[in-house]
Chains A and B, each alone.
Chain A
Amino acid sequence: MIETLQALAEPNRFQIVELLRDGPRPVGDMVHRLGLRQPQVSKHLRVLSDAGLVDMRVDAQRRIYALRPAPLKELEVWIERYRRVWEAKFQRLDGVLAELKAKEKKRGRTKR
Chain B
Amino acid sequence: MKNSGTLKVTTPSDREITMTRIFDAPRHLVFEAWTKPELVKRWLYGPDDWRLAVCEMDLRVGGALRFVWRHSAEQSMGMSGVFREIAPPDRLIFTEIWDEDWTGGEALNTLIFTEHAGKTTMTQTVLYSSRAARDGALKTGMEHGAAVSYDRLAELLKS
Contact = CB atoms under 8 A, between A and B. Distances in A.
Interface of A: 1-2, 5, 9, 78-98, 100-101, 104, 111-112
A56 B159 CA distance: 50
A7 to B, nearest CB: 12
B119 to A, nearest CB: 10
A95 B159 CA distance: 8
B127 to A, nearest CB: 16
Give the dominant DSSP class at B's interface: mixed
B138 A79 contact: yes
Interface in B27-51: 28-30, 32-33, 39, 42-47
A85 B4 contact: no
A5 B21 CA distance: 25
A88 B24 contact: no
B14 interface: yes
A83 B146 CA distance: 11
A98 B153 contact: no
A14 B47 CA distance: 34
B9 A79 contact: yes
Interface in B1-38: 1, 4, 6-9, 11, 14, 17, 19, 21, 23-26, 28-30, 32-33
A83 B159 contact: no
B156 A100 contact: no
Across chains A and B, which 9 residue pairs bring their CB atoms closest together, nearest first?
Answer: A81-B145, A82-B141, A92-B43, A94-B1, A97-B25, A93-B43, A83-B9, A81-B142, A87-B7
Contacts of A85: 46-47, 141, 144-145, 148
A92 B156 contact: yes
A84 B23 contact: no
B1 A88 contact: no
B157 interface: yes
B29 A90 contact: no
A82 B25 contact: no
Contacts of A88: 46-47, 148, 153, 156
Nearest to A82: B141
A91 B46 CA distance: 12
Contacts of A91: 1, 4, 156-157, 159
Contact of B25 (A84, A100, A111): A100
Nearest to B47: A85
B135 interface: yes
